[in-house]
Amino acid sequence: MEKMNAVVKSQRQSGAQITKVNPPRIKESEVLIEVQAASICGTDIHIWDWNEWAEHRMKRIPIIFGHEVAGKVVEIGKNVTKVQVGDRVSAETHIVDNTCYQCRTDRKHVCKNMEILGVDRDGVFAEQFALPEENVWKNDPQIDPGIASIQEPLGNAVQAILPKEHVEDIAGKNVAVLGAGPIGLMAIAVLRELGAAQVFATAGGLNKVRMDLAESMGADMVLSAKEEGDKLVKTIVDATEGNGVDVALEMSGDPNALRQAFKILTPGGRVSLLGIFENAVELDLNDAMVFRSATVYGITGRRIFETWYQVRGLLAKPSFMEKIGAVITHRIPIRDIDKGVNLIKSKQAAKVVLEPKW
């Protein structure tokens, strides 16, 4: 291939360009992957909009962004031994150095020298991309590339629910998911699969698409913070015999939802924090955590590769796969990526999958 199409961020301002670029040249330990499906993540929206986070975080411009992907291996480097041309694959998007303190102490997902696909190096909104062999995740060739591309955020949902080995139980427990974005929605489906007793879902606004999806993912009660206001906490606490939930997953990045997550938490319960807050948040720590004896997990990325195996295990069940597929509300040609971005920003979409139609 002489030149390939790619979505390139070439200026430190909003928007992006679809343009022809040189295809990637792989290193000896890398593989070249032809993109079959890519999905749009919140991170991509930040990069598209070029918000403060992007201005601060993005070092390399121009860059091809995008990181959630499924594709086919078309070339392998000469030191690659476990991946073959033709393999259907997805990408663990966190490229670690394997040598820092975190990597050497079984915490690769917080590697100090981590490079992220589509953030620190060229990503997947292109016809092809390069990936280190050790970041390749082999897919069942039968799996729909759209669904295969959302395994990465599904992994985030699983990581929020099961952040480590021997974590507190989910089976038979009451759980709340605060935030009905794609990862929140997928978390509801995972919780159902793991045998949660009651699953409560909260959404900030009154978004019909996402609230309906929360219900179809299996939430017992879907509450709009906008509609419920202060009653929201009482509604959930009352529905759990006055006890509150055992587990709360904060997936919205909304300070109010964060405070609610602790108010609805039964003393001794646990919270996972996945949502990203725009600013520093005020929280009464005495009430929220100390006297509540709360366990709090910060969630970033996925455990490499435990979470991927858990995702594979979940997707092996056809009914779960079908349910998760419903989170993909739109499949559009990648040349219309601007439409996809707008669908997400206007919250008409949950997950948008881009097909390689240039």
- C-alpha 1/C-alpha 23 separation (Å) is 7
Site for Zn ion in 39-78 (CB under 5 A): 41
Name the residue nearer to Zn ion (CB basis): 38 or 96. 96
Pick from 284, 249, 242: nearest CA to 267: 242
**What is the nearest approach in angstroms of Zn ion to the Cβ of residue 226?**
26
Residue 109 appears among annotated catalytic residues: no
CB of 96 to Zn ion, least distance (A): 5
DSSP secondary structure code for residue 168 in this structure: P
Contact range with Zn ion by CB under 5 A, out of 99-107, 164-172, 259-267, 287-295: 99-107
Number of residues lying near Zn ion (CB under 5 A):
6
Residue with structure tokens 């000469």?
78
Part in contact with Zn ion (CB under 5 A); list of ranges 3-11, 45-53, 95-103, 130-138: 95-103
How far are the Cα atoms of 128, 272, 288 from residue 285, in angstroms, in the given order? 47, 15, 5
d(CA 129, CA 248): 37
Least distance to Zn ion from the beta carbon of 146, Å? 15
Round to whole Å and give the CA distance between 151 and 324.
10
Query: Contact 297/250 with Cβ under 8 angstroms?
Result: no
Separation of alpha carbons 244 and 29, rounded Å: 50
Q: Tell which residue, 117, 120, 145, 144, has the closest CA to residue 131.
A: 117
Span from 54-62, 110-118, 175-183, 303-311 in contact with Zn ion (CB under 5 A): 110-118
Question: What does DSSP assign to residue 350?
Answer: S
> Least Å distance between CB 318 and Zn ion?
25
Residue 301 backbone dihedrals phi, psi, to 5 degrees: 65, -150
Q: Is 100 in the site for Zn ion (CB under 5 A)?
A: yes
Our answer to whether residue 266 is catalytic in this structure is no
Which residue in the list 19, 43, 81, 99 is annotated as catalytic?
43
Shortest separation between residue 325's beta carbon and Zn ion, angstroms? 18
Please, which residue, 41 or 176, has the CB nearer to Zn ion?
Answer: 41
Q: In a 3-state reduction of DSSP, which class is residue 265?
A: strand
Candidate list 16, 73, 83, 96; residue touching Zn ion; CB under 5 A = 96
Nearer to Zn ion, 16 or 103 (CB): 103
Kindly write down the DSSP assignment for every residue of 280-318, as one continuous string: -----HIIIIITTT-EEEE--S--TTHHHHHHHHHHTSH
Closest CA to 177 of 185, 169, 167: 185
Pick from 35, 103, 160, 236 the residue near Zn ion by CB under 5 A.
103
Cα 39 versus chain centre, distance: 10
> Does residue 213 bind Zn ion (CB under 5 A)?
no
Q: What is the footprint of Zn ion within residues 161-200 (CB under 5 A)? A: none
Q: Report in angstroms how near the CB of residue 179 gets to Zn ion at its nearest.
A: 15
Catalytic residue among 19, 46, 99, 109: 46
Closest CB to Zn ion among 118 and 244? 118
Q: Of these, 35, 73, 76, 111, which contacts Zn ion (CB under 5 A)?
A: 111
Residue 355: φ, ψ to 5°: -100, 145
With CB under 5 A as the contact rule, which of the stretches 82-90, 106-114, 250-258, 259-267 interacts with Zn ion? 106-114
**Which bin fits 245, alpha (ψ -120 to 50), beta or left (φ > 0)?**
beta
Shortest distance, position 108 Cβ to Zn ion, whole Å: 6
CB nearer Zn ion, residue 289 or residue 331: 331
Q: Which stretch binds Zn ion (CB under 5 A): 90-98, 121-129, 203-211, 290-298?
A: 90-98
**Cα–Cα distance between 184 and 201 in angstroms, integer?**
8
Does 91 help bind Zn ion (rule: CB under 5 A)? no
- In the complex, the residues that contact Zn ion under the rule CB under 5 A are 41, 96-97, 100, 103, 111
Positions marked active-site:
43, 46
